[in-house]
Structure 1
Amino acid sequence: MTVSKAKAAAFSAALQAGKYIKERRGKIKKIDYKGAFNIVTDVDKASEKMILEILKADFPDDSYVAEEGGGHEASKTNRRWYVDPLDGTTNFTHSYPFFCVSIGMEEAGQMMLGVVYNPIADELFYAERGKGAFLNDEPISVSGIGELNHSLLATGFPPDTGIGQPHNNMVPFTTLTNLSHGVRRDGSAALDLCFVACGRLEGFWELKLAPWDIAAGSLIVEEAGGRVSDLADGPLDMPTGHILATNKLIHAEVVAEMKKLDLK
């Protein structure tokens, strides 16, 4: 199996699901909750079904990890797909135009392919390991800004933690807001990672993300010349979900600030 075949399937799945999501904006039939604040809609579920049907048509023996529970573990191959059918569901329900489809493919424990599609802007970000990162078929790279105080950052907040609870991210948010040009909170980790990759942001961090939130985007950042790690500059651990992605130039400076906060 070549990565190119996987890329073609992922493109098809992301573009078709993105078209469906765009058509359904403002026409949601049902909203449910996973926890107190974490929204899931009928559109999330239909998008996931569409994506998995397309991918499984070409790769029926692979493993799939999908946000809305449509995945399954398999043992016939060493490939695993990570699918977020609608990253930014809360934005979508409010017609706030910052959401996407995210599809990542891992082989033998290493991310090999990342595809993220923003249907509102019609922006398709993608990367294959060792082949660079692209936006609508044009090469992209991280920014050249080398100082934290000249940087624009982004973050997010776990839906299941409030003020005073572990990992609520408020202290890092306040700290880095005061040390940078600002911190944006737009509600889609996958798109935030892509914005680091194409130089619109210098850095992004978040706590307790799920693997499907970061699988595709983390590879896109790396292939665009950036750096991805946990908050202490160790290897990214997707099950933990603590991530720091930067243009590489400000990485050590951000890590130093995170270490002062003693985040676990």
Structure 2
Amino acid sequence: MARSALLNVMVSAAVKAGKSLVRDFNEVENLQVSRKGPADFVSKADLRAEQIVFDELRKARPTYAFLMEEGGQVAGTDGQHTWIVDPLDGTTNFLHSIPLFAVAIALQRGDEIVASVIYNPVMDEMFTAEKGGGAWLADRKRLRVAGRRHLSDAVVSTGIKTQGTSNDALQLRQLASINPAVAGIRRGGSISIDMAWLAAGRFDALWEAGLQPWDVAPGFLMIREAGGLVTDFAGQPGSVWNGQVVAGNETLQGALLKEIKSIK
């Protein structure tokens, strides 16, 4: 696949931020033994990565706006384009030396996500997508969602929020209901990687709630460009703004959505 100039900018920013995170990740492993723990260090690593992404994207497209997990909104003069950035999706994994985390970047044009990058720097896996151009791994392998047709054969991904959130009890009911209906449930700790892996056919379906736009936007486009379907829990067309995702191929997404709708 020949990347567009726009996607090249995004990939370059993700790789540069990823190198910074890998250096810090190696330090986190050493900090695990300290009594204070590495939480403050990880926060600084997150901010460093975000600043790198911001600087690279702003240099390339100075008129575009930003929506960032750490830095919030930064206005642009363009009026049509917004970068949506999660510089470290999978912070808890990073904190515990688990090598599943990503730099995730999406570009919104008007009301649509038109380009996205999800980069796991430890595994050096670069997932990209552009509207109408498909979803790809390392520019060589075109991504397609898995073709399984039955939930009983499906490995399904989800996220489990920390204790004390308002929907703890609902999540437990969902797990109790969905677990016996599927081949397995996985909780990877990075929704961006979960969505990229679904697009790549590694996961068959996924569901999660309580998400922010920077959690959803990069994987949202990737799944659609890989032939998948994304809705919210009500079955309405998915939006990066409503915090809910149910995704998979058309058959499995419908079956998983039916399960979720039945859980009150």
TM-score, shorter chain, exceeding 0.5: yes
Q: Which residue is equivalent to 1:13?
A: 13
Q: Is the 8 A contact 1:126 1:134 kept in 2?
A: yes
In the alignment, structure 1 residue 97 sits paired with structure 2 residue 105? no
Q: 1:161, 1:191 → 2: CA distance?
A: 25
Query: CA-to-partner distance for each residue in 1:17-52, whole Å, 9 max, x for gaps?
Result: 1111112114248625xxxxxx96111000000000
Q: Is the 8 A contact 1:231 1:255 kept in 2?
A: yes
Tell me the secondary structure at the aligned position of residue 27 of structure 1: helix
Q: 1:147 to 1:119 in 2, by over 3 A?
A: same
In the alignment, structure 1 residue 25 sits paired with structure 2 residue 33? no
CA RMSD of aligned residues (A): 1.8
In the alignment, structure 1 residue 205 sits paired with structure 2 residue 213? no
Counterpart of 2:16, as a letter, is Q
| Structure 1: gaps spanning 5 or more residues | 33-38
Query: CA-to-partner distance for each residue in 1:193-239, whole Å, 9 max, x for gaps?
Result: 01110000011111110100110111001000111110122022323
Q: 1:204 to 1:40 in 2, by over 3 A?
A: farther
Could you tell me how far 1:70 is from its partner in structure 2? 5.1
Q: Which residue is equivalent to 1:135?
A: 137
Q: Is the 8 A contact 2:227 2:249 kept in 1?
A: yes
Could you tell me how far 1:73 is from its partner in structure 2? 2.5
Q: 1:65, 1:74 → 2: CA distance?
A: 11
Q: 1:23, 1:175 → 2: CA distance?
A: 41
Q: Which of 138, 142, 156 is the aligned partner of 1:153?
A: 156
Percent same amino acid among aligned pairs? 33
Q: How many residues align?
A: 252
Could you tell me how far 1:161 is from its partner in structure 2? 3.7
Tell me the secondary structure at the aligned position of residue 189 of structure 2: coil
Q: Which residue is equivalent to 2:35?
A: none
Q: Which residue is equivalent to 1:36?
A: none
Q: Which residue is equivalent to 1:226?
A: 228
Query: CA-to-partner distance for each residue in 1:152-204, whole Å, 9 max, x for gaps?
Result: 00100234744xx3365221122111110111011000000011100000111
Q: Is the 8 A contact 1:86 1:99 kept in 2?
A: yes
TM-score by length of 2: 0.90
Higher mean C-alpha deviation, range 68-77 or range 132-141? 68-77
Higher mean C-alpha deviation, range 205-214 or range 66-75? 66-75
Q: 1:74, 1:160 → 2: CA distance?
A: 37
Q: Which residue is equivalent to 1:144?
A: 147
TM-score by length of 1: 0.90
Higher mean C-alpha deviation, range 72-81 or range 109-118? 72-81
Q: Is the 8 A contact 1:48 1:70 kept in 2?
A: no
Tell me the secondary structure at the aligned position of residue 123 of structure 2: coil
Q: Which residue is equivalent to 1:35?
A: none
Q: 1:160, 1:101 → 2: CA distance?
A: 26
Query: CA-to-partner distance for each residue in 1:74-107, whole Å, 9 max, x for gaps?
Result: 3433011110000001000111111011000010
Q: What does residue range 69-108 of structure 1 map to in structure 2 within 5 Å?
A: 69=71, 71-108=73-110
Counterpart of 1:20, as a letter, is S
Q: What does residue range 247-262 of structure 1 map to in structure 2 within 5 Å?
A: 247-262=249-264
Tell me the secondary structure at the aligned position of residue 41 of structure 1: helix
Tell me the secondary structure at the aligned position of residue 251 of structure 2: coil
In the alignment, structure 1 residue 112 sits paired with structure 2 residue 114? yes
Q: Is the 8 A contact 2:114 2:131 kept in 1?
A: yes
